Structure 1
Amino acid sequence: MKLRFFTLIALFGFLNLQGQEYYFPERNADWEVKSPKNFKIKDGALKDAVDFAEANEYSGSRDLRIAIIKNFEKEPFHKILGPTKKRGGPAGMILKNGYVVAQWGDTKRVDMTFSVTKSFLSTMAGLAEDEGIISDTKNLVGDYIWDGTFDGSHNSKITWEHLLQQNSAWSGELWGGKDWADRPPSEGGIDDWKLAAPKEPGAVMEYNDVRVNVLAYSLTHVWRKPMPLVLKEKIMDKIDASSTWRWFGYDDAWTEIDGLQMKSVTGGGHSGAGIFISAEDMARFGMLFLNDGKWKNERLISENWIKKATTPSTPNVNYGYMWWLNKKGARHWEGLSENIYYAAGFGGNFIVIDKEHDLVVVTRWLEPDKVGEFMAKVNAAF
């Protein structure tokens, strides 16, 4: 009996040590690098993946104002409403157990990250649920936001989950953006889009920044403070991120809460704004999710939230709570684990979480339609 008891103690001790295998870099410290051979990773195959990323730079202009206007030129009334920034070249990091096993480009450079911002915004909702500010994401948003944003027979049906899964079909206008004019269908014209009846909430996923910005606006009101402040205090300071990241809203996106003027941020950058951040700070955010919501031994996000955020939505198996999921569907990366999930942004910005290989992969300015091929090359190194 004694032998079994001590064997169990030894086993649990081993498991605890295994749980602490991840390396977490200190603030402003050089990120520790390890040879791929330390983890039995094929050095040549990993180099092929990096070479591929460097050779397949996003084809749009490095002047992102030009790239944005060109890419969204078919949207009626589209214009730049918030800050933009000229971008750098391809950059990225591949972390195994938190250690850098490959990197390329300028990983400290701050660039726009576009819809990667959505995964940060989703996390603000997760923190709100973890702290009881929102009881449950299945609650109606109109029970929390009573200023008219969720009035009417249609918008009153919308839940937090609908907004997080981008299937709310919220109808209206915010900060000069009209829901029907944001990424309109390929067919039809202004009258067709404008007069079309909104779809039932929860029925169809539609990628739509106006509706995402409605979520940011709503979270600002329930937190009663700007989202960048919540992100800084609850996440970025705790994960020892740099002081260089910024989260912008549109120039005119001001709202009053408790007598104070606050900027309501965006969940993307296709009209400017969103999160401007370095690859290294993106990697820190990725490490937090790889470690199931804990930074070192401190829990910042509940495991329950991460599970909810990475559960497929009914209308789109590849989308959870503003995280893309590698399930077998329209956006499946063939040959790669279905448990992979990732944040994705315009221009080839990605934070990929691969729990099965204890990997975080960050790419900047990789041609977006090449990311599946790139990840297959990374996978081939294992």
Structure 2
Amino acid sequence: MAGGRGLCYVQIMPDPIALVTPLPAAEPVALGMDPAALAEAARFAEAHETPWPRDLRAHLESGYFEPAPDNAILGPVAPRGGPAGMILRRGAVVASWGDTARADMTFSVAKSYLSLLAGLAVDDGLVADLDEPVSARVGSPAFEGARNGAVTWRQLLTLTSEWEGTLWGKSDVIDRNRDLAREGRAKKGEARPLHAPGTFWEYNDVRVNALSLALLHVFRRPLPEVFRDRIMDPIGAGRDWAWHAYDTARVAIDGVEMPSVPGGGHWGGGVFIGAADQARIGLLVARRGHWNGRQLIAGSWIDAIAEPGALKPEYGLLWWLNTNGARAPAASPRSLFASGAGGHVTWIEPERDLVSVTRWLDPVAFPDYAARVMAAVRD
């Protein structure tokens, strides 16, 4: 594995005998959906494109997330495509729009994929107890000391770890007060006093990257390979998805240098994937980890990710929740969302057996889009 810009990732080479099968499709009316209302939802999604420019590198370098020098890009970035999406009802495609095969950046959707990998680690006995300190199983400087040594798996998965430090050239301070800044209650990037681990919720990409590093240590192989072998190939995913690391994110495991992938595209890298493959992942979660006669992820883990956090009821284990209709008032409060900056949402609506993927949809428009989808359900 070579270093250098664009080469600091695992090349995804799917099993040559694995078949890429299309998702089944059905007429909307046969699955209890109103065709005209469904078409209106799709038109709405196409008409409400994210305000982000197509040139994502220029957008990130403009200081959208933070000013220089903290905005330095460390991993691959590619121009984006146009709006795209797909709606599944009872496991079949009832609507799609745009280029659903195009592998685009997804930003924080990758966090929810890290959650699925954590579930596999629990299934395999590599993580026995979410409330155990990560340092009990991971021998890394990232989890040493009084503070970081006490951080648990659950705290990392619920964004309550208050982990402190610099990882791959990015300090956790960059993302401190990230959500409070949106509310006008603090300045993003201020080195506020830290709380005890487990007592403060904060959306912080550096801490999520620390979780990814911890999972790399317990699996002892690159996470994209695990994701490919355990999830993507079994669900019949395409060949174009990739999970890129930063140039700086390298670690030796058992004497072999491996990339540690990020849980987003904040500084480049992350998951590049198409809407159709995201729909497959959403369907796997909707089916509680079951796919074509195989239990790929324990159903108990799918239940666990949907449990509201004590400090942030709208957040589970790296999945957004619809507690009290927080993200989509028209949808079930039991809905799950894998969400990424720029307008990427995989929405799982369990009470209506729906899976929706929207790419490059203006986030402000998502609740109205969801209302239109729900209005299309007839039974």
With the length of structure 1 as denominator, give the TM-score of the two structures: 0.89
What's the counterpart of residue 375 of structure 1? 370
In the aligned structure 1, how far is the partner of 2:176 from the partner of 2:83?
27
Quick one: distance in 2 between partners of 1:332 and 1:189? 24
Which of 266, 272, 275 is the equivalent residue of 1:276? 272
One-letter identity of the residue aligned with 1:37? V
Partners in 2 of 1:126 and 1:50 — Cα distance? 33
* One-letter amino acid of the counterpart of residue 33, structure 1: A
Q: d(CA) in 2 for partners of 1:102 and 1:337?
A: 20
Of 290, 295, 305, the match for 1:294: 290
- Partner of 1:306 in structure 2? 302
Q: What residue is the counterpart of 2:342 in the other structure? A: 347
The match for 1:251 is: 247
Identity %: 44
1:127 aligns with 2:124: no
Indicate which of 167, 174, 179 corresponds to 1:181: 174
Cα displacement (A) at 1:368? 1.0
- Within the candidate set 186, 211, 214, 1:215 is matched to 211
Q: Number of residues paired by the alignment?
A: 354
Structure 1 residue 98 corresponds to structure 2 residue 100: no
Following the alignment from structure 1 to structure 2, what is the Cα–Cα distance between the partners of residues 337 and 111?
28
Alignment of 1:31-42 (within 5 A): 31-42=23-34
Q: Which ranges in structure 1 are unaligned for 5 or more consecutive residues?
A: 1-25
Deviations 1:19-59 (A, max 9, x none): xxxxxxx9434433211111221111111111110000001
Structure 1 partner of 2:153: 160
Name the structure 2 match of 1:12: none
Unpaired runs of at least 5, structure 2: 1-17
C-alpha distance after superposition, 1:236-281 (max 9, x if no partner): 1111111211001101111001110000000000100111011111
- Change in CA separation of 1:30 and 1:128 when aligned onto 2, cut-off 3 Å: closer
Please report how far the alpha carbon of residue 148 of structure 1 lies from its aligned counterpart in structure 2 after TM superposition. Answer: 2.5
- 1: CA distance between counterparts of 2:301 and 2:66? 37
Q: Does 1:60 align with 2:52?
A: yes
How many angstroms apart in 2 are the aligned matches of 1:312 and 1:336? 16
Deviation at 1:146, TM superposition (A): 2.8
Name the residue aligned to 2:329: 334
Residue by residue over 1:103-145, the C-alpha shift from the partner in whole angstroms, topping out at 9 and shown as x without a partner, is 0000111101111111111111110001101101111111112
Q: Which amino acid aligns with 1:238?
A: P
Distance in 2 (CA, whole Å) between partners of 1:102 and 1:27 is 23
Out of 181-190 and 286-295, give the one that drifted further. Answer: 181-190
Q: Distance in 1 between matches of 2:163 and 2:45?
A: 37
What is the Cα deviation at residue 76 of structure 1?
Answer: 5.5
- Any residues of structure 2 matched to 1:107-122 within 5 Å, and which? 107-122=100-115
d(CA) in 2 for partners of 1:152, 1:28:
46
Is 1:316 the counterpart of 2:316? The answer is no
Asked if 1:169 corresponds to 2:162, the answer is yes
What's 2:139 paired with? Answer: 146
Mark the structure with the bigger radius of gyration.
1
Q: Which amino acid aligns with 1:273?
A: G
- The CA deviation at 1:182 is 2.1
> Does structure 2 retain, via aligned residues, the 8 Å contact 1:172–1:179?
yes
Q: In the TM superposition, what whole-angstrom CA distance separates every residue of 1:56-94 from its partner, at most 9, and x where no partner exists?
A: 000111111122233213476221110011111000000
Root mean square deviation of aligned Cα: 1.7
Report whether the alignment pairs 1:193 with 2:185.
Answer: no
CA separation in 2, counterparts of 1:158 and 1:271?
24
Structure 2: how far apart are the matches of 1:143 and 1:132?
Answer: 14
Partner residue, 1:5: none
The residue type equivalent to 1:61 in the other structure is P
Q: 1:240/1:188 Cα in 2 relative to 1: closer, same or farther (>3 Å)? A: closer
| Rounded Cα–Cα distance in structure 1 between residues aligned with 2:187 and 2:21 | 53
Please, what TM-score do these two structures have when normalized by structure 2? 0.90
Please point out which of 216, 237, 243 is paired with 1:241. 237
Letter in 1 for 2:339: A
Q: CA deviation at 1:198?
A: 1.2
Which SS does the other structure have where 2:121 is aligned?
helix
Residue number in structure 1 paired with 2:3:
none
SS at match of 1:92: strand
